[in-house]
Amino acid sequence: MATFDEIYEKIKQYPTIILHRHTSPDPDALGSQAGLARALKATFPEKRILCAGENDEGDLAWINTMDEVTKDDYKGALVITTDTANTPRISNKLYDQGDFLIKIDHHPDVDPYADMSYVDPDAPAASQIIADFLNAENIEITPDIAYALYAGMVGDTGRFMYPETSAHTFEIASQLAKTGINITEIARNISDVTLNQAKLQAMVLDYMTVDPSGAAYAVLTQEDLKKYDITDDQASVTVSTPGRIKDIIAWNVFVEKPDGTFRVHYRSKGPVINELAAKHDGGGHALASGANAKDMAEVKQIFNEVVEVTKKYREDHDAK
């Protein structure tokens, strides 16, 4: 694994730097990308710093929006991905057209696709890693940088509730908050939903099938989304809904995409599910991952796999 100093030396060498993140971005994907981009723009005003993606920010455009990036921009460019575990999830497939590729991430390094990597699976958010990098290289974290990084940390720590949250996480959050950013606004932007999104959350509970093991799933179709005028990206607000039910330990929310395939959301309160997601063109954290399913047959296969790991988790937990 590369050091922060080695990454910084590479950054210094290139006049054009293009930053990528994962598709269907969450706050950490956009926050880590934007935080690093803004810091590099301030530090190296003579460089071209571009944010690349598929313009799929949706309701999270308040964190960052993408630049217009063409294939020609990659000639002789340094490319950096943040918060992206594997190549199928990189937003904008031109990422491999640059001169050199760096990966900065906090997911398990199942796909070491870059020329240089800094991967820390113990970090709760890629945005925290970016903050650590900026601190290590004595790069000033201004309010606009802090705003993006704090949003990413709040999003990926579940408002500082997930197990990877550490004392160091709070130290970085405090540092970012001290820049004067509006932390209440960030929290509301992440948590607020529209009335139609709230209705869709209720629909997930209506559709929920719960296995005796504690595994559960719901499927949202395009017809369901159209009923409430919601895109498949906006439907991601439903993902945490089943977790509020005490008896549910692990769950899937399957959201049909316009082409008839399904976006698969995995969440868990204990059973490890990222290895399951990796079998279906996905990946992520031990307790929160994403994947894809081509049809209902694969949807059923995925849920059966979740049932099995949940049963094993319950058996091991009950034996203690």
- Sign of the CA dihedral with 296 first, then 282, 89, and 29 last: positive
* pLDDT the model gives residue 283: 81
* pLDDT the model gives residue 301: 98
Tens of pLDDT, residue by residue over 73-84, are 999 999 999 999
* pLDDT the model gives residue 234: 85
User: Which structure tokens are listed for 95?
Assistant: 């990422």
Q: Is residue 217 scored above 90 in pLDDT? A: yes
User: Which structure tokens are listed for 204?
Assistant: 């997930």
Q: Is residue 229 scored above 90 in pLDDT? A: yes
CA dist., res. 138 & res. 315, Å (int): 49
**Class in CATH terms, 4-190:** alpha beta
User: Which structure tokens are listed for 45?
Assistant: 């005003």
Tens of pLDDT, residue by residue over 117-146, are 999 999 999 999 999 999 999 999 999 999
Fold held by 196-319: Diaminopimelate Epimerase; Chain A, domain 1 (3.10.310)
What DSSP assignment string belongs to 116-162? EEEE-TTSS-HHHHHHHHHHHTT----HHHHHHHHHHHHHHTTTTTS
Kind and range of the H or E run holding 8 = helix 4-13
As annotated, the residues of the chain forming the CATH 3.90.1640.10 domain(s) are 4-190
Bridge partner list, 217: 209, 252
Please give the average per-residue pLDDT across 91-98, as a whole number.
Answer: 95
* pLDDT the model gives residue 285: 82
Q: Is residue 320 scored above 70 in pLDDT? A: no
Q: Is residue 147 scored above 70 in pLDDT? A: yes
